[in-house]
Amino acid sequence: MQTKTIVVHLENAALCPARLATAVDMASRHGAHLTGLFMSIEEFDGDVYGRSRGRGLRGARQDRLARESAQAQADFEAACSAAGLASYRFTTEIGDDEHDLEVHARAADLLIVSDVQERTLEDRFVRGLPETLALSSGLPVLVLPQEFEGSFDPKTILVAWKSSREAVRAVRDNLSLLQAADQVTILSAGNAEESGRLPADQILNFLTRHGVKAQVRHDYGDTAPGKVILATAEEIGADALIMGAHGHPSWRNLVLGNTTRHVLRHHRMPLLLSH
């Protein structure tokens, strides 16, 4: 699939420069439209702080968010203009529902977010975005680790394989990326019987027919699959990890499976999730 529309989440100021630079670089290389979305949450509740104090805190917060949004817009438009992007747009969404980002993303090919440490309520909201968006947006989500800098043009890619719809979707969503790579490793870890329903070797044949240079590795030991995936990624020097975002029902909605959650919490290379 060609990438022609990208949405980048512009919040959490410390991580924005690297995230924006990555998004602009990708849009430039792919000739894509880029949407910059500044999004944050309403943090203060008048019932908790008292109505009078709550109004004051809310007003101060809204003023701060307005300044941050204006700065984010200036940075976004300057970066897009400097890169000579033909098509870009900035928008702001302030509310209390992470699904607002889904709405903006549904007409895109790729959504770019970052992983953050939880220090504030706002950080907790931002950190939850990769999980929420991977399971519900319907498009691939590129999650950049905190330490990531530079362009995203991976040449050594690890595909975490499992015989599942989500894993198939992840491979197909990123086929053009896999075709452009110099080395692709398909890792089948965990349950050998489960992998047997659609063995990694069959996916290798599929990718080979599409011109992907790939190899298969198996690891069916006792180590948790999430740990095996990350250890293998480090071993081969992967500059991208592709995997399905596996979820299971909770009382309210889907929640991440243990392997996906572990990888999302501990990855040190860009992570592409599809559900």
Rounded to an integer, what distance in angstroms lies between the CA atom of residue 156 and that of residue 130?
23
151 within a domain of the structure (yes/no): no
Are residues 90 and 177 both part of a single domain?
no
Residue 12 burial (CB count, 10 A): 22
Examine the domain organization and report whether 128 and 173 are in the same domain. Answer: no
pLDDT at 98 (0 to 100): 60
CB 41 within 8 A of CB 127: no
pLDDT of residue 146: 84
Residue-wise pLDDT tens digits, 173-212: 999 999 999 999 999 997 766 555 678 999 999 999 999 9
In tens digits, the chain (275 residues) has pLDDT values of 689 999 999 876 667 899 999 999 999 999 999 999 998 765 545 454 455 555 656 778 788 888 989 999 999 999 999 999 999 999 998 765 566 667 777 789 999 998 765 545 455 555 567 877 888 778 899 999 988 988 899 999 999 998 889 999 999 999 999 999 999 999 999 776 655 567 899 999 999 999 999 999 999 888 999 999 999 999 999 999 999 988 755 544 556 678 888 998 899 999 999 98
Same structural domain for residues 140 and 162? no
Same-domain check for residues 162 and 222: yes
* Pair 9, 140 in one domain: yes
Q: Which of 144, 174, 198 is the last residue of a domain?
A: 144
Q: Are both 161 and 108 inside the same structural domain?
A: no
Q: Are 161 and 188 in contact (CB under 8 A)?
A: yes
Q: What's the pTM?
A: 0.87
Q: Which of 112, 144, 176 is the last residue of a domain?
A: 144
Residue 11 lies in a domain: yes
Residues 76, 11: contact at Cβ < 8 Å? Answer: no
pLDDT value for 263: 93
Domain end (from 144, 171, 194)? 144
Q: Which domain holds residue 166?
A: 156-274
- Asked if the structure places residue 149 within a domain, the reply is no
Domain count across the chain: 2
Q: Which amino acid, one-letter code, is at 75?
A: D
- Asked whether residue 252 falls in the same domain as residue 176, the answer is yes
Task: Name the helix (H) or strand (E) containing 61.
Answer: helix 51-83
Are 174 and 160 in contact, with CB atoms under 8 Å apart? no
Task: Say if 178 falls within a structural domain.
Answer: yes
pLDDT at 74: 95
* pLDDT of res. 30: 95
User: Which sign does the torsion angle of CA 127, 128, 133, 135 carry?
Assistant: positive
Residues 244 and 137 in one domain: no
CATH no. for residue 13? 3.40.50.620
Same domain, 112 and 138: yes
Q: How many CA atoms lie within 13 A of 150 on its CB side?
A: 8
